Amino acid sequence: MPRKVLYRRTTCGVSGEVLGAPSGSRRVLSGPRSAAARSGERIPDIKAQLMKRYPSLKPGIWGAVIGAAAISVIGFSSFGWTLGSTAERMAKEQAQNAVVAVLAPICVEKFQHQTDAATKLVEFKKVSSSWDRRSIIEKGGWATMAGTDAPSSAVVTACAERLGGLL
Q: Where are the alpha helices (DSSP H) in 39-152?
A: 46-53, 57-77, 84-112, 117-126, 130-140
**Domain span including residue 32:** 5-38
Tens-digit pLDDT profile for residues 8-56: 555 554 444 445 555 555 554 455 555 555 566 666 678 777 667 777 8
DSSP 8-state secondary structure symbol assigned to residue 41 = P
Whether residue 147 sits in one domain with residue 89 = yes
Whether residue 136 sits in one domain with residue 73 = no
CB 145 within 8 A of CB 106: yes
> What's 74-91 look like in SS3?
HHHHCCCCCCHHHHHHHH
Whether residue 91 sits in one domain with residue 59 = no
Whether residue 153 sits in one domain with residue 107 = yes
Whether residue 155 sits in one domain with residue 120 = yes
Predicted confidence at residue 42, as pLDDT, reads 65
Tens-digit pLDDT profile for residues 143-154: 998 888 999 999
Number of domains in the chain: 3
| Interacting residues of 32 by C-beta distance below 8 A, sequence separation 6+ | 7, 9, 14
CA distance readout (Å), 53 to 4, 50, 58: 37, 5, 11
Supply the pTM of this predicted model.
0.55
More confident residue, 35 or 131: 131
Q: How far does Cα 32 stand from its chain's mean position?
A: 50
Whether residue 95 sits in one domain with residue 59 = no
